[in-house]
Amino acid sequence: MHNIKGIDNFKTRIGHDVSLFMEFSRGKAQKAQSREIAVTQPKESLSTLSKTKITITNYLGGQYFFTADEMAIDEKTVYLIEGKHTKKGLLPNPGDIKDGLLKMILYSNLCDVTVNNVKMKSEAVLSLTSAKINGEISSKSSVRERTDFILNNRFSPAQSVLINDIFNEATENNFILKIGYAK
């Protein structure tokens, strides 16, 4: 809220009719989603140009509007990919990683997913990339491959713990984690 006039306007919208406020709020969220899908942020390093709109409808009829950084389809599975990138360090900053993890919680708990009115299975993917990393690992990599990746990239002990924690999070919450190189 920018000023007192904005607060009064907001109060007026809420006070008159809750359904009108919900419609107003939903419209603003949809416009924000449309703006996000049209823009590639400076900190994004995407392997495809496939940003996609995600509308989550809960059992009460509430709607929530998100944008996945990328989408890939393989037969009857849609992969909803949230990417976090850094050019300066080996890993994106902790705030960006936490934002990605929050989206993984949402995306890995979707049911009744449709793409162009076709029912599909969905998989959530968190992709952490850096211009300074050599190679790539994923939650499908063996423990040995992860260990070699960590050693080859000379991650600090704290970064190594973070990487292992995120892999554990991916396993516990049923999403795919990828860490690797991108420009």
CB neighbours of residue 14 within 10 Å: 14
Judged against a pLDDT cut of 50, whether residue 1 lies above it is answered with no
Q: Give the model confidence (pLDDT) of 78-129 as tens digits.
A: 999 999 999 999 999 999 999 999 999 999 999 899 988 899 999 999 999 9
Is residue 71 within 8 A of residue 79, CB to CB? The reply is yes
Kindly state whether residues 110 and 167 are assigned to the same domain: yes
Kindly state whether residues 174 and 115 are assigned to the same domain: yes
Kindly state whether residues 19 and 101 are assigned to the same domain: no
Kindly state whether residues 128 and 155 are assigned to the same domain: yes
In this structure, are strands 176-181 and 118-130 parallel, antiparallel, or unpaired?
parallel
The tally of domains found in the chain comes to 2
Kindly state whether residues 31 and 79 are assigned to the same domain: no
Judged against a pLDDT cut of 60, whether residue 69 lies above it is answered with yes
Which structural domain range is residue 6 located in?
A: 1-39
- pLDDT tier at 56, thresholds 50, 70, 90: confident
Kindly state whether residues 34 and 51 are assigned to the same domain: no
Give the predicted TM-score (pTM) of the model: 0.77
